[in-house]
Amino acid sequence: MNPTMTDESVAVVPASLAALVTALCEFAPHQAEALRQDVMRVVQHRMASGLLSAAFNTSLLAYNGSPVEFTASTLRPQAIACTLDPFVPLFRQSCQLSALQALYPHLLPDDTLSPAARTALAALADIQTCADAARPLRFGSWIGRKYRPDAASTKIYAEMPPTARAFEALRHSPFPHAACASDRHALANAGLTLLMLGHYPDEPDAPTEYYYQWHSAEITLADIAAVMRYFGCETQFPALQALLVRALAALPEKTAFPATTYGFSVVYRPSARSQTHQPDSVSLFTLAPGFLGGVAPAAEKMEALLHQAGAGNTQGTPLLHHLIRRQVPLQFNVIGFAVDAAGRTGISYTFSPQQSVFNEVNLKAPRPSAKSTGAPLTTLLRQQQQASGAFASMVRTPDGRWYQDDNAFVTAQVVRTLDYAPETAGYIDKALDFLMRCQVSEGHFSFWPPDAHPAWMGEQTIVPDIDDTAIITELLYKFGRICAGTVRQTLMHMNGYQLERVDARLAAPQHQWASCQVFHTWMKAENDIRQLDCCVNTNALILLHRYYGAQASTIPAYHRIMTMLHNAFRWSQNDYSRLNTLIPYYAHPNEWRVALEYARALGVENLDTLIEPLKKWRATGIPAEIPLYRRHDGLYLWTSSSLARFRYLSVCHNHRSATTTTRK
């Protein structure tokens, strides 16, 4: 067996995260070390995942996908709370409570937990095992940490599976008020859906918090009063109503609740009050961006809200004032309006770092030996090819769910790794059949066959695009499925979607490096230059070279694409945040490098100055799952657990062939 070696890999982290953590530690020096360590454990796990920005902008925790969120409250103005999403967005990553405990054993050391705490955690784990295999958990579990002057405590957030078995397990659990929380029929009649539970296992009189989503984007004071009656705390409604009326006065509309997401949290303690169905506190939650609205900066709008509601002074919101003075770029996520059993009211708000800019970090990573590739090529082909002929990937949708996706592009990427030989011919032919089905009209190919639109996309449609059209056409021509005349007609159709105007005076950064006559991403009448993609154009370049051969460099579009690729890379300086601008539909710069290396192997010249510096983004070893594509806004993420292995086997095959040729 080959010994394990060490490579250096490059990770990224949001640039504003360090500034935010530093500012929070300045505000709460008594817990600075604990806060830093808690955040860094999660951040290091995400940096080591190889997902780059996808590790930091896909979490369901924060509005902008951040896996790190902080909370401040006017009821406890000196306290800071932190919530952390411990799981990276990979299909193979379990997100159940048991996986959280395995990843972060120091937060819940078994030898320090009381018997009651062990029982509670076991109950939460049992509830999550009741998730439906067809609809697995979306986020699973989060870690909460509350920092006070004298100590830090841990809170566990556990997603509630929407199954009858899970609610039955909750009903028999030791949590206070579980019987009411587990009555799905009554909750539905009240307009509520139970989303998750929050529990403090290391507190003696540990409260349990139930989080419910309101069924509509619209809500009224009458609706809120009805929910509080349902929870048996209607006597606290007048105090909450007064707080909400003051808060509404700070909004642009002044009178009504904005249409956005709403929910409730209800806290119970295992005490006598639980027996009388009286919660310890109730909060109305809403998404901060939708609730605040307006065009003013978010921090100013939050200050105005707190001031109008009677809490906007240095005594009530010292943390917010501190962060504003430090000019930390913040994303506000959730606002909570709370009332407790004594009638005291307060406002909480959660915030995360903005994530438009990323800093690079060098990591030392173990490189696995070649033994880790697993199955030989024919076995891998047999295991991975679907009945349709496609090679599947997994896609993560904005709601955190994962679906198998049989699409043209992953299938084409696998076929690119294969030579036509007796052992591969049948698989290639079947894959080419699938790719031909992806033609929508003459010279226009799409991500899926027209008759195989995935159910998880609903009524959303994707028009044909240059990327799929180029890569499919190139492979169909390579393997003799179409003739030169068909390729020529396809190129004529593609020419109808070329960029016509570049003006360096305009704001979009693409105007600094784009060239006229390169290809838009989408084959539609109206296109946005901000969706221009260098990897898409690399695949178009490959098609041009496949068709024209050595004469390709005389074609205007070929020359323009080549010029743009080099200009774009010089503009980026190989900086990650800028590279993201060059390839908005690719989740990792390594995918661009792979396309460029395929082009170079085909005979395209003058690519070394692009390929060599992009090698710093290569994953070390053979990843178990790699990020591939995304929607330009990052809300959909495609990954594959097999493409990296196909690529590795292709490299090994080419190396062996080169060695054999040299020996001859």
Average pLDDT over residues 190-214: 92
Rounded to 5°, angle at Cα 316 from 315 and 321: 80
Residue 490 has pLDDT above 70, yes or no: yes
SS3 assignment for 124-151: HHHHHCCCECCECCCCCEEEEEEECCCC
Average pLDDT over residues 501-523: 96
The span from the CA of 266 to the CA of 279, in Å, is: 6
Residue 31 has pLDDT above 50, yes or no: yes
Q: How far is CA 140 from CA 53, 144, 474, 490, in A?
A: 21, 13, 42, 46
Three-class SS of residue 275? helix
Residue 482's Cβ-side half-sphere holds a number of Cα atoms within 13 Å equal to: 22
DSSP letter for 373, please: G
Six-digit token pair at 501?
């105007």
**Which among 399, 488, 476, 395 has a CA at the least distance from the CA of 439?**
476
Domain edges within the chain: 9-360, 403-661
> What pLDDT sits at residue 275?
52
Six-digit token pair at 145?
């940490």
- Residue 634, Ramachandran bin (φ over 0: left; ψ between -120 and 50: alpha; else beta): left
The span from the CA of 445 to the CA of 450, in Å, is: 9
pLDDT (tens digit per residue) in 440-469? 999 999 999 999 999 999 888 899 999 999
**Which residues are registered as beta bridge partners of 637?**
396, 630
SS3 assignment for 366-399: EECCHHHHCCCHHHHHHHHECCCCCEEEEEECCC
DSSP letter for 388, please: T
Residue 388's Cβ-side half-sphere holds a number of Cα atoms within 13 Å equal to: 18
Q: What is the number of other CB atoms lying within 10 angstroms of the CB of residue 505?
A: 5
User: Is the overall model pTM greater than 0.85, yes or no?
Assistant: yes
Q: How far is CA 218 from CA 221, 251, 262, 636, in A?
A: 11, 15, 8, 27
Residue 295 has pLDDT above 70, yes or no: no
Three-class SS of residue 441? strand
CATH architecture of 403-661: Alpha/alpha barrel (1.50)
Q: How far is CA 393 from CA 32, 401, 506, 585, in A?
A: 42, 14, 38, 16
Q: How confident is the model at residue 233 (pLDDT cuts 50, 70, 90)?
A: very high
Average pLDDT over residues 411-417: 98
CA 391, 610, 581, 84 dihedral sign is positive
Residue 156's Cβ-side half-sphere holds a number of Cα atoms within 13 Å equal to: 31
Q: Which of 9-13, 111-115, 272-276, 537-541 has the highest mean pLDDT?
A: 537-541
Q: How confident is the model at residue 108 (pLDDT cuts 50, 70, 90)?
A: confident
Q: How confident is the model at residue 222 (pLDDT cuts 50, 70, 90)?
A: very high
Residue 393 has pLDDT above 70, yes or no: yes
Residue 272 has pLDDT above 60, yes or no: no
The set of residues, in sequence order, having a beta carbon less than 8 Å from that of 392 and lying 6+ positions away, is 384, 386, 404, 405, 406, 410
Report the chain's terminal Cα–Cα distance, integer Å. 29
Q: What is the number of other CB atoms lying within 10 angstroms of the CB of residue 166?
A: 22
Q: What is the number of other CB atoms lying within 10 angstroms of the CB of residue 106?
A: 8
The span from the CA of 264 to the CA of 627, in Å, is: 35
- Percentage of the chain surpassing pLDDT 70? 93
* Chain-centroid distance, C-alpha 420: 37
- Give the number of residues written for the chain: 664
> What pLDDT sits at residue 654?
60
**Which among 555, 569, 652, 650 has a CA at the least distance from the CA of 604?**
555
The span from the CA of 26 to the CA of 36, in Å, is: 11
Residue 5 has pLDDT above 60, yes or no: no
> What pLDDT sits at residue 365?
61
The set of residues, in sequence order, having a beta carbon less than 8 Å from that of 641 and lying 6+ positions away, is 91, 92, 394, 624, 625
Classify each residue of 361-374 as buried b or exposed e, where b means 16 or more C-beta atoms within 10 Å of its C-beta.
Answer: eeeebebbeeeebe
Six-digit token pair at 463?
């028009």
Residue 657 has pLDDT above 60, yes or no: no
Is 323 in contact with 371 (CB distance < 8 Å)? Answer: no
Q: What is the number of other CB atoms lying within 10 angstroms of the CB of residue 375?
A: 14
CA 105, 107, 112, 117 dihedral sign is negative
Average pLDDT over residues 525-539: 96
Average pLDDT over residues 204-231: 94
Question: From the CA atom positions of the chain, what is the Rg in Å?
Answer: 28
Classify each residue of 612-632 as buried b or exposed e, where b means 16 or more C-beta atoms within 10 Å of its C-beta.
Answer: eebebbbbbbbbebbbbbbee
**Which residues are registered as beta bridge partners of 352?**
331
The span from the CA of 443 to the CA of 634, in Å, is: 28
DSSP letter for 7, please: E
The span from the CA of 514 to the CA of 521, in Å, is: 13
The set of residues, in sequence order, having a beta carbon less than 8 Å from that of 499 and lying 6+ positions away, is 514, 515, 516, 517, 518, 519, 520, 527, 529, 532
**Which among 10, 91, 17 has a CA at the least distance from the CA of 48?**
10
> What pLDDT sits at residue 314?
44
The span from the CA of 11 to the CA of 226, in Å, is: 49
Containing 340, the helix (H) or strand (E) segment is: strand 330-340
Average pLDDT over residues 615-636: 87
Q: How confident is the model at residue 313 (pLDDT cuts 50, 70, 90)?
A: very low
**Which among 419, 395, 425 has a CA at the least distance from the CA of 407?**
395
Residue 498 has pLDDT above 80, yes or no: yes
Q: Which of 355-369, 455-469, 557-571 has the highest mean pLDDT?
A: 557-571
Q: How confident is the model at residue 177 (pLDDT cuts 50, 70, 90)?
A: confident
Q: 19 or 105: whose pLDDT is higher? A: 19
Look-up of token digits 């696995």 = 368
> What pLDDT sits at residue 634?
80
Residue 294 has pLDDT above 90, yes or no: no
The span from the CA of 165 to the CA of 363, in Å, is: 44
> What pLDDT sits at residue 371?
46
Three-class SS of residue 56? coil
Greatest Cα-to-Cα distance within the chain, rounded to the nearest angstrom: 91
